[in-house]
């Protein structure tokens, strides 16, 4: 893999959905030439390993705004990019199995209402109508938003990649970034890659689970932590549950894909960091099965087809890092999206592109400022709904 | 159980009777060739294909549980059996019209995309057609069968020829191995030789999950390996063992041609299985020993032997004795018939034209592939072998894989052309013998046979659907489109098309996809790559997995 040029206006590191979307925003703004590099293969990271959930129910208004913009983008994706992503707005149902969870969902409802979203609190009978066969006594109620939904992640990647290549943008897989070069004023001047040095004034770190490692490799101490999460898929059935269902207490989630498979996950503890790779664990399979059957006991005879794992890119406050790093001019973060990189990619990447272009950022995006961890007490808000 | 060991079940509106404990498919097959299934996307007619419990060709609903494989389910008196995913019946299914509406299939670029305002409508439509069975019927809550935990010094998976031989050698050395066998025991003594004295044999036990030892949770301090599986009653099985011998054997591959998914096209595994399918007018595909076995089994029902390459003298003799015509150096181009197969069209590989043979079945006996996926799941290195065209685990002269404690023997470990260690030497290695003895003589590599076969076949004009992956109705066209768009390699092809993500876990489509991608991408099959073998190996019931959950460790969550 040799690169076509030795200088680019922007180098985007990470060829997943956030990186490709960032490049797309930049190219559309006429801010080329852009180079996208990725040390792996298309869809090998989190963009090819997520459950496809897209929701707007959050505890912070800033995240809700990101999510609303993302939903609008995915609704129009098929006509804009020519690939059907099967974005199905079947809703998101958060279940509360205790009073504390119910109170939390009520807070979510209130924040969402203030943002103009029609989140409703449901009682047990309404939950039973949405989740056919839910075990009696499995929950006290829930919160529901009908315009949340799920999509099929891969075609998003195909559509973005093909649009970029049609526009002449270079997307290079199998190229690793080893560091950055600075000019004499300390600004970013170039990117060191396995294919040699590339001159550029801007680098976008969209490396997903590896973004913390990349920032640190470039001399920037960041709080991002990669954590391994696992998903399983069952054999396909006729549709019986429309929404994505998330249990607020333990984070169990599942939805039924367009193909009819039940796809879901549950957090089981694994050592942090990317070094262990993404093996599947027996503990996840057994814990997930147990948790799922407490909600839907009638599925005991249903078979699990496969399981896989991927990395979340977690931050201490549950909010992403979007924008230029105050310690290195030209180094822009588009990361820290937790397990919701795919969900928020269209809008999060637009904030990153704004930072590259030097455009004024939306006021609420200050909560995503990468500098907030540098000052004590800088991270003022916490997004606690890091589930599903 | 009914009187005299007979069992009666309700099958749709009819009542079927058979011997309690026999495969449900055998009961159904007494009334003719089973037409049980319509395919998942285009509602194409499908029939039993693999005979070993892996394909999606005999799925029925039993007592409210969907997607039960009739070839594996044992008949019990009073059960309710129904067909699924078709209306009014699998034989005539209204949704079968879809097959005509989408002659080139539906993918992310083609079909059901525009206009965008109609997206919710066609999503609802597509979603209702997806999936096989309806969700399980709510049943009165019953506690799942408790998990069984078994401990053994040596565990053997598979009670076939190789597994038995190693078991005998271990018994001879004073060890009592645990043997897991997927089929119910007792096994038919005529073909399997009965149980091995001195072993602990557990039948109806499917091994599904073998985590790599490095990533596995500590197995109770004992070290060693932990294997998870389930039995036919849906109960979980946990095996802790120091050494694991995989004697999981091999299976007959599929083959792609137009209409290769038609009912009547089956593997040799199905043809020789004791399922009592009413074979008639059979075309046997293959040129060697496996095809000969099929000819001897199906006798006068065989109407032709078709071989992609030459025909072995033994097979020729067996065929000529029965007045069966031989068609060497020929390929299957098309299966003819709207439902069950009525004929096949063959092409000579020298290009001398196509011709048609009337038949009701095609039995695929042309290549056997290793069942080594459990070793790959545990992290064993693999090597590509051009003939038969598959990945084998890397094992040494004593059967040791590079996963500590995991051995692979028999046809799961190496192609038949390569010299294998004797069972005694394997047993010795399992028990700690270090002496590997002389390495087996290297076998000169043979050039791929399947890649040139598909290279020629892909030049044939295409009319109807060429189904590459029957479980998910993935078409050959889709694989070609993935390659044209630059999504190269098996991993990306899988993600672009869905090939290999169905119920058979890719057993019948991925080997063909590798060969076809080698043609499309103009590179050796070993460079096309492979997919990560992830658990479970065999679709595993949620109830069995739940029963295997261990209590949380005491350390707090991060």
Chosen for mutation from B69, B535, B544, B555 (greatest number of chain A CBs closer than 10 Å) is B535
Is A260–B549 a contact, with Cβ atoms under 8 angstroms apart? no
Q: Do A155 and B108 touch (CB under 8 A)?
A: yes
Q: What is the pLDDT of residues A295-338, one digit of tens each?
A: 999 999 999 999 999 999 999 999 999 999 999 999 999 999 99
Chain B residues close to A78, C-beta within 8 Å? 113-114, 116, 119
Q: Which domain holds residue B117?
A: 3-129
Determine, yes or no, domain membership for B441.
Answer: no
Which has the closest alpha carbon to B105: B295, B261, B225, B305?
Answer: B261
Q: How far off is chain A from B354, nearest CA to CA, in Å? A: 38
Of B127, B492, B535, nearest to A239 by CB-CB distance is: B127
Identify which of A279, A293, A298 has the shortest CB distance to residue B215: A279
C-alpha B298/C-alpha B282 separation (Å) is: 8
Minimal Cα distance from B142: which residue of A? A297
* Domain shared by B120 and B152, yes or no: no
Task: Please name which of A369, A346, A386, A379 lies closest in space to residue A67, comparing C-alpha atoms.
Answer: A346
Token code pair at residue B36 = 């049980």
B242 with B267, same domain?
A: no
pLDDT, position B141: 57
* CB pair distance less than 8 Å for B132 and A43: no
Tell me the CATH number at B103: 3.10.20.440
Q: CB distance B134–A282 less than 8 Å?
A: no
Q: Count other C-beta atoms under 10 Å from residue B556's C-beta.
A: 7
**CB within 8 Å: B133 and A305:** no
Flag whether B165 is in a domain.
Answer: yes
Sign of CA dihedral A98, A99, A101, A106: positive
Interacting residues of A367 by C-beta distance below 8 A, sequence separation 6+: A60, A62, A319, A380, A381
Complete domains list, chain A, with CATH: 7-49+154-224+317-373 (3.50.50.60), 89-146+225-314 (3.30.9.10)
Structure-token pair, residue B225: 């390996």
Using a CB-CB distance cutoff of 8 angstroms, which residues of chain A are in contact with residue B209? 282, 285
Phi, psi of B509 (to 5 degrees): -110, -35
Partner-chain residue, chosen from A227, A237, A287, that has the shortest CB–CB distance to B135: A237
List phi, psi (to 5°) of A73: -65, -45
Other beta carbons within 10 Å of B222:
12
Pairing of strands A34-38, A170-173: parallel
Please list, in sequence order, all residues whose beta carbon lies within 8 angstroms of the beta carbon of residue B383, skipping any fewer than 6 positions away: B391, B392, B393, B394
Chain B: give the shortest CA distance to residue A5, in Å.
22
Most A CBs within 10 A among B214, B503, B542, B551, hence the mutation to make, goes to B542
- Let me know whether B204 and B224 are in one domain: yes
State the pLDDT at residue B336. 96
Closest chain A CA to residue B549: A286
Q: Quote the pLDDT of residue B221.
A: 43
Domain boundary among B366, B390, B418: B366
CB < 8 Å to B113, chain A = 78, 82, 84
Which among B41, B64, B127, B129 is the top mutation candidate for probing chain A, defined by the most A β-carbons within 10 Å of its own β-carbon? B127
Cα dihedral sign, B406-B410-B415-B417: positive
**Could you tell me what percent of chain A has a pLDDT over 70?**
99
* Whole-number pLDDT of residue B556: 44
Query: Does one domain contain both B302 and B382?
Result: no
Q: Tell whether B356 and B375 lie within a shared domain.
A: no
Which residues of chain A make contact with B102, given a CB cutoff of 8 A?
none
Distance from CA of A360 to the nearest CA of B (A): 33
- Report residue A363's pLDDT band, with 50, 70 and 90 as the boundaries: confident
B394, B531: one domain = no
What pLDDT is recorded for position B191?
53
Q: B540 contacts in A (CB within 8 Å)?
A: 285, 303-304
C-alpha A100/C-alpha A258 separation (Å) is: 33
> To which residue do tokens 């004499």 refer?
A184
Cis amide linkage into residue B369, ω under 30° from 0: no
B382, B400, B430 — which closes off a domain? Answer: B430
A302–B541: do the CB atoms touch at under 8 Å?
A: yes
**B136 is a domain residue:** no
Contact residues, chain B, for A239 at CB < 8 Å: 127-128, 130-131
Residue B558 lies in a domain: no
**Count of A-B CB contacts under 8 Å:** 203
Encode chain B (558 residues) as per-residue pLDDT tens digits: 556 799 999 998 899 999 999 999 999 999 999 999 999 989 999 999 999 999 999 999 999 999 999 999 999 999 999 999 998 999 999 989 888 888 877 777 776 666 777 777 888 888 888 888 999 987 655 666 789 999 999 999 999 999 999 999 999 999 999 999 998 877 654 455 667 889 999 999 999 999 888 655 544 444 689 999 999 888 999 999 999 999 999 999 999 999 999 999 999 999 999 999 999 999 999 999 999 999 999 999 999 999 999 999 999 999 999 999 999 999 999 999 989 999 999 999 887 889 999 999 999 999 999 999 999 999 999 999 999 999 999 999 899 999 999 999 999 999 988 888 899 999 999 998 876 666 666 778 899 999 999 999 999 888 889 999 999 999 999 999 999 999 999 999 999 999 999 999 999 999 999 999 999 999 999 999 999 999 999 999 999 999 999 865 544 443
Q: What is the pLDDT of residue B555?
A: 45
Phi, psi of B299 (to 5 degrees): 50, -120
Nearest to A301 among B108, B136, B215 (CB): B136
Span A79-128, pLDDT tens digits: 899 999 999 999 999 999 999 999 999 999 999 999 999 999 999 999 99
Please check whether residue B36 is in contact with residue B83, taking contact to mean a CB–CB distance below 8 angstroms: yes
In chain A, which residues have their Cβ closer than 8 Å to the Cβ of B505? 305-306
Strand A225-234 relative to strand A303-314, pairing? antiparallel
Model pLDDT, residue B218 = 47
- Flag whether B67 is in a domain: yes
* Residue B556 included in any domain: no
Q: Mark whether B258 and B229 lie in a shared domain.
A: no
Contacts of B533 (CB under 8 A, 6+ apart): B373, B376, B377
Nearest-CA distance from B76 to chain A in Å? 17
In a domain, B437, yes or no: no
Residues B472 and B424 grouped into a single domain? no
User: Are B399 and B501 part of one and the same domain?
Assistant: no
User: Which of A235, A256, A312, A316 should be substituted to probe chain B, the one whose Cβ sees the most B Cβ atoms within 10 Å?
Assistant: A235
Quote the tokens at residue B263.
Answer: 């009912």
Interface touch B137/A87, C-beta < 8 Å: no
User: Contact at 8 Å (CB) between B472 and B498?
Assistant: yes
pLDDT confidence of residue A356: 97
Tens digit of pLDDT for each residue in A39-74? Answer: 999 999 999 999 999 999 999 999 999 999 999 999
Total number of domains constituting chain B: 4
A-chain residues within 8 Å CB-CB of B125?
A: none
Count CB atoms within 10 A of the CB of residue B350. 8
The CATH code of the domain that includes B502 is: 1.10.10.1100
Same domain, B157 and B238: yes
Average pLDDT over residues A252-272: 95
The answer to whether the Cβ–Cβ distance between A279 and B114 falls below 8 Å is no
Is A162's CB within 8 Å of B485's CB? yes
Could you tell me if B375 and B509 lie in one domain? no
CA distance B303 to B492: 41
Q: Of B349, B366, B383, which one is at a domain's C-terminal end?
A: B366
Radius of gyration of the CA atoms of chain B, in A: 24
CA count, 13 A, side-chain hemisphere, A51? 31
Decide if A89 contacts B120 (C-beta within 8 A).
yes
Which of A158-162, A252-256, B37-41, B522-526 shows the lowest per-residue confidence on average (mean pLDDT)? B37-41
State chain A's mean pLDDT as an integer: 95
**B438, part of any domain:** no
In a shared domain, residues B326 and B470: no
To the nearest whole Å, the CA of A136 is away from the closest chain B CA by: 11
In B, minimum Cα distance to A234 occurs at: B539
CATH number of the CATH domain containing B314: 3.50.50.60
Task: Confirm if A209 and A45 have CB atoms less than 8 A apart.
Answer: yes
Q: Tell me which chain A residues have a C-beta less than 8 angstroms from the C-beta of B536.
A: 285, 304-307
- pLDDT of res. B2: 59
pLDDT score, position B419: 87
Asked if A83's CB is within 8 angstroms of B109's CB, the reply is yes
Mutation for B interface: A88, A171, A306, A314, most B CBs within 10 A: A306
- B314: number of CA atoms within 13 Å, CB side? 10
E strands of B104-186, at which residues? 148-157, 178-180
In the prediction, which pLDDT does B360 show?
Answer: 98
Q: Are strands B225-231 and B236-246 parallel, antiparallel or unpaired?
A: antiparallel
CA-based nearest distance A186→chain B, Å:
37
């Amino acid at each position: 893999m040799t690169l076509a040029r030795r200088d680019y206006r922007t180098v985007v590191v990470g060829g997943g959905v956030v990186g490709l979307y960032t490049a797309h925003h930049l190219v559309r703004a006429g801010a080329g030439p852009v180079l996208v590099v990725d040390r792996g293969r298309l869809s090998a990271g989190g963009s090819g390993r997520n459950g496809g959930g897209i929701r707007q129910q959050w505890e912070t208004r800033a995240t809700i705004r990101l999510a609303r913009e993302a939903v609008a983008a995915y609704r129009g994706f098929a006509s804009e990019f020519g690939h059907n992503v099967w974005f199905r707005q079947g809703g998101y149902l958060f279940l509360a199995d205790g009073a504390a969870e119910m109170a939390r969902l009520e807070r979510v409802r209130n924040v969402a209402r203030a943002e103009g979203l029609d989140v409703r609190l449901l009682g047990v009978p309404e939950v039973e109508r949405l989740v056919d066969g839910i075990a009696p006594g499995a929950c006290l109620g829930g919160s529901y938003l009908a315009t949340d939904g799920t999509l099929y992640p891969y075609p998003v990647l195909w559509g973005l990649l093909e649009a970029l290549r049609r526009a002449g943008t270079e997307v290079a897989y199998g190229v690793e970034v080893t560091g950055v070069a600075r000019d004499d004023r300390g600004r970013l001047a170039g990117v060191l890659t396995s294919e040699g040095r590339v001159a550029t004034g801007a680098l976008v770190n969209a490396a997903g689970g590896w973004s913390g490692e990349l920032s640190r490799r470039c001399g920037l101490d960041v709080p991002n932590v990669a954590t391994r999460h696992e998903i399983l898929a069952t054999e396909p059935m006729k549709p019986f549950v429309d929404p994505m269902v998330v249990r607020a207490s333990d984070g169990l989630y599942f939805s039924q894909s367009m193909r009819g498979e039940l796809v879901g996950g549950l957090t089981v503890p694994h050592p942090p960091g990317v070094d262990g790779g993404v093996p599947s664990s027996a503990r996840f399979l057994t814990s997930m099965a147990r948790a799922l059957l407490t909600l839907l006991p009638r599925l005991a005879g249903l078979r699990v087809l496969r399981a896989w794992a991927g990395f979340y890119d977690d931050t201490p406050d549950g909010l992403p890092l979007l924008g230029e790093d105050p310690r290195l001019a030209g180094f822009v973060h588009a990361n820290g999206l937790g397990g919701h990189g795919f969900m928020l990619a269209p809008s999060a990447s637009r904030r990153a592109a704004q930072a590259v272009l030097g455009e004024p950022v939306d006021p609420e995006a200050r909560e995503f400022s990468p500098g907030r961890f540098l000052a004590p007490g800088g991270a003022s808000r916490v997004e606690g709904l890091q589930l599903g | 159980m009914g009187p005299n060991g007979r069992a009666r079940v309700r099958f749709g509106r009819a009542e079927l009777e058979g011997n309690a404990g026999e495969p449900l498919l055998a009961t159904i097959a007494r009334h003719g060739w089973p037409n049980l299934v319509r395919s998942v996307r285009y509602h194409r007619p499908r029939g039993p294909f693999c005979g070993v419990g892996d394909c999606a060709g005999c799925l029925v609903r039993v007592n409210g549980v969907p997607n039960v494989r009739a070839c594996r389910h044992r008949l019990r008196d009073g059960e309710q059996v129904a067909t699924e995913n078709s209306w009014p019946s699998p034989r005539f299914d209204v949704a079968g019209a879809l097959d005509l509406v989408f002659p080139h299939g539906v993918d992310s670029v083609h079909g059901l995309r525009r206009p965008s305002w109609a997206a919710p409508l066609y999503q609802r439509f597509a979603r209702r057609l997806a999936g096989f069975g309806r969700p399980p019927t709510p049943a009165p809550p019953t506690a799942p069968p408790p998990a069984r935990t078994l401990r053994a010094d040596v565990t053997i998976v598979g009670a076939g020829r190789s597994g038995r031989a190693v078991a005998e050698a271990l018994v001879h050395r004073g060890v009592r191995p645990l043997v897991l066998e997927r089929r119910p025991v007792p096994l038919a003594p005529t073909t399997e030789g009965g149980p091995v004295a001195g072993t602990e044999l557990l039948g109806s036990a499917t091994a599904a999950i073998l985590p790599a030892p490095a990533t596995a949770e500590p197995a109770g301090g004992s070290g060693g390996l932990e294997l998870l599986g389930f039995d036919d009653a849906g109960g979980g099985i946990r095996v802790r063992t120091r050494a694991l011998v995989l004697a999981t054997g091999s299976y007959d591959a599929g083959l792609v041609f137009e209409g290769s998914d038609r009912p009547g096209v089956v593997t040799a595994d199905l043809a020789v299985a004791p399922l009592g399918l009413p074979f008639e007018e059979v075309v046997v595909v293959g040129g060697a020993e496996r095809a000969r076995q099929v000819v001897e089994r199906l006798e006068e029902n065989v109407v032709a032997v078709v071989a992609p390459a030459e025909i072995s003298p033994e097979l020729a003799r067996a065929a000529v004795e029965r007045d069966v015509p031989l068609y060497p150096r020929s390929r299957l181009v098309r299966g003819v018939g709207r439902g069950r197969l009525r004929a096949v069209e063959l092409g000579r590989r020298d290009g001398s034209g196509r011709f048609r043979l009337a038949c009701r079945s095609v039995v695929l006996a042309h290549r056997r592939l290793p069942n080594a996926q459990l070793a790959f799941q545990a992290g064993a290195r693999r090597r590509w072998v051009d003939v038969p065209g598959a990945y084998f685990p890397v094992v040494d002269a004593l059967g040791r894989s590079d996963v500590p404690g995991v051995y692979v023997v028999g046809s799961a470990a190496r192609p038949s052309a390569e010299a294998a260690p004797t069972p005694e030497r394997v047993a010795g290695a399992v028990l700690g013998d270090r002496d590997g003895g002389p390495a087996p003589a290297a076998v000169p590599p043979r050039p791929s046979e399947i890649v040139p076969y598909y290279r020629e076949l892909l030049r044939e004009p295409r009319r109807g659907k060429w189904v590459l992956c029957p479980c998910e109705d993935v078409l050959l066209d889709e694989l070609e489109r993935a390659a044209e768009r630059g999504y190269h390699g098996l991993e990306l092809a899988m993600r672009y098309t869905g090939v290999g993500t169905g119920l058979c876990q890719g057993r019948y489509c991925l080997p063909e996809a590798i060969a076809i991608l080698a043609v499309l991408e103009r590179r050796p099959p070993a460079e096309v790559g492979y997919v990560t073998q992830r658990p479970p190996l065999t679709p595993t019931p949620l109830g069995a997995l739940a029963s295997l959950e261990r209590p949380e460790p005491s350390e707090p969550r991060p």
